[in-house]
Amino acid sequence: MATSTTPIAIRLDDDLVRLIEEYAKGQQITKSDFIRDAVLEKIEDMYDIAVADIAYKDWVASGKKTYSLEETLERYG
């Protein structure tokens, strides 16, 4: 099943447009593919950070202790 697409418009300054065009050309991809991939990567990064924050809060709330690199090296050499 084909995925439908919806065009959107954004305003970018001329320097950023040139940078995107040069990068996309060098990678042999379209500007649309580059921008789509960049947006998706940003969303995935933000999701990963949110999940990590929740996991860290759960870890701290559980009362478990963390150890610094120095403490670990001292303990395990």
Query: What angle is formed at CA 42 by the lines to CA 44 and CA 31, rounded to 5 degrees?
Result: 120
Examine the pLDDT at 35 and tell me if it is beyond 90.
yes
- Mean residue pLDDT of the chain comes to 94
- 13-31: average pLDDT: 97
- 26-36: average pLDDT: 97
Least confident span in 9-13, 24-28, 37-41, 57-61:
57-61
Residue from 38, 12, 34 nearest 23 by CA? 34
Query: What pLDDT, on the 0 to 100 scale, is given for residue 1?
Result: 64
Cα dihedral 26, 28, 32, 33 sign:
negative
